[in-house]
Amino acid sequence: MADTPHPEILDAVRRALAEDIGGGDVTSQSCVPADRRAEGVFLVRQELVLAGTGVVPLIYNERGGVEELNILHHDGERLEEGARIATVRGKARTLLECERVALNFLQRLSGVATIAHQFAEVVNGTGCKVLDTRKTTPGLRRLEKAAAAAGGITNHRIGLFDAMLIKNNHIEAAGGVRQALGNAQRAGLPVEIEVRTIDELHEALECGATHLLLDNLSPQQASEWTRVVNGRATVELSGGIDLDNVRSYAETGADFVSSGAITHSAKAVDISFRLHLL
């Protein structure tokens, strides 16, 4: 993560802290003397691919009271159970009030990186790249896409603003494939178009489409349609693609496969925080 965080990431951190701490950590304020110092360590409890380390210093910078923070591993590293991710030293109250927010980010983002790595491993050697999607947790897209990239896959567009993806509803609203492509190509942005039938596939190619999205096909159908394209356009496959079938889709000759499961179905990994007094 860059030294200067993206405003959306800093905002996500601030909102997470406000959500959890609110007017104050009443338990820590009641139980722990204000001048007590401690050290905490973030520990890996299962094999994982790490992500979210850049968020940890942002959390403590927002709250203050930290004397020393050491990030021992970085995003994209594969870690075994028992590995120490980071240590932090300072006011015990600060460490306690930041514990859950830091863990939530690390567990969620490392979960995304871990499943992304699994996807990348499964398709290794096929020449096909795995893409993520916009099926992300609201407010956490930049973080989740960074985590997916740390896991070894390729980011698709970040949002509706940086590239065009003409889906079936756009085609309906525009009046057809030809009309949708003609209108979009005048904007001067990258254009990808989804085709639902073999006739739409031929029409899109005739109209000069350079990037096709083939959705909800079986691997056999995807192979047949990709042979029809025959290199005239880049081919992306999507729809129901998961770890069990992604290899079959990657072997069809397509350039890309995309899966929303990388973000919407990632399971948080097991990371713990252990504190001891100084």
Query: Which tokens sit at 235?
Result: 């081919």
If pLDDT is split at 50, 70 and 90, which confidence band does 1 have? very low
Over the stretch 172-203, which tens digit does the pLDDT of each residue have? Answer: 999 999 999 999 988 888 899 999 999 999 99
Report CA-CA distances (Å) from 82 to 44, 267, 272.
Answer: 5, 19, 10
1 found inside a domain? no
Can you give the pLDDT at residue 2? 44
Tell me the pLDDT tens digit for each residue of 81-140. Answer: 999 999 999 999 999 999 999 999 999 999 999 999 999 999 999 999 999 999 999 999
Q: Is residue 57 part of a domain?
A: yes
As a whole number of angstroms, the distance between CA 106 and CA 93 comes to 20
pLDDT class for 243, splitting at 50, 70, 90? very high
Give me the CATH number covering residue 144: 3.20.20.70
Q: What is the pLDDT of residue 102?
A: 98
Instruction: Quickly count: other Cβ atoms within 10 Å of residue 188's Cβ.
Output: 8
Is residue 106 domain-shared with residue 128, that is, in the same domain? no
Is there a domain that residue 159 lies in? yes
Catalytic residues: 100, 135, 167, 194, 215
Q: Are the C-beta atoms of 98 and 60 separated by less than 8 Å?
A: yes
Same-domain status, 192 and 94: no
Task: Give pLDDT, residue 185.
Answer: 87
Whether 91 and 127 map to the same domain: the answer is no
Q: Which ranges in 138-260 belong to alpha helices (H)? A: 141-150, 168-174, 177-185, 198-206, 219-229, 246-250
In a domain, 172, yes or no: yes
Q: Are residues 139 and 241 in the same domain?
A: yes
Range(s) of the domain holding residue 258: 120-264
d(CA 108, CA 140): 10
pLDDT of residue 186: 87
How many residues make up the chain in this entry?
278
The model's pLDDT over 257-276, given as tens digits with 9 standing for 90+, comes to: 999 999 999 999 999 999 99
Cα–Cα dist 177/169, whole Å? 11
| DSSP helix/strand/coil, 39 | strand
Average pLDDT, the chain: 96
- Here the tokens at position 209 are 């489409």
How large a percentage of the chain has pLDDT more than 70?
99
Residue 2 falls within a domain, yes or no? no
pLDDT tens digits, 2-57: 468 999 999 999 999 999 999 999 999 999 999 999 999 999 999 999 999 999 99
Counting the structural domains of the chain, the total is 2
